[in-house]
Amino acid sequence: MSNTIVKGEHGFTVTFDGATAFDAATTLTKLYPLGLHIRSIQMVPTATDDILTVREDGVAAGRIMFKVKAETAYDIKTKYFNVPNDQLYKLYVVGNEATSGAMMIVEL
C-alpha cells in the first residue's frame, strides 16, 4: 500500500496507510521546492485512538510540531499556525506514527 495524496487549491490531504512515511520534501518537491508555508494542520480520524505525529524538519527525528490522538472516531483536531511568510516547513510523518485511514489536511 501507499499513502494517498490529493492536492487542492489551498493545500493538500494525505490519507495514511499506517506504514509508509510521508516526506513532503520529496513528495511535493516540484510544487514547493523551498518548503511549505502552513496555515493549519488538521487530523481527521477514522477510529478511536487514531494517532498522527507531524515533524517539521523533514526527517524522522525532527522536532514534533503537531501530535494528536483521537478520543473518538469523530474527534477532529486542528492546529493553526501564525508564522511569518518566510517561515517554511518540510513536513515528515513516520509511517507508524499515523494510523491507517487517518487523514491529514494541510492548509497553505
Handedness of CA 31, 37, 39, 42 (dihedral sign): positive
Give tens-digit pLDDT for 51-77. Answer: 999 999 899 999 999 999 999 999 999
**pLDDT tens digit string along 2-36?**
999 999 999 999 999 999 999 998 889 888 888 99
Q: How far apart are the C-alpha atoms of 13 and 19, rounded to whole Å?
A: 17
Residues recorded for the chain: 108
CB within 8 Å of 27: residues ≥ 6 apart: 5
Q: Amino acid letter at 70? A: A
Answer whether CATH 3.30.70 is correct for domain 4-107. Answer: no
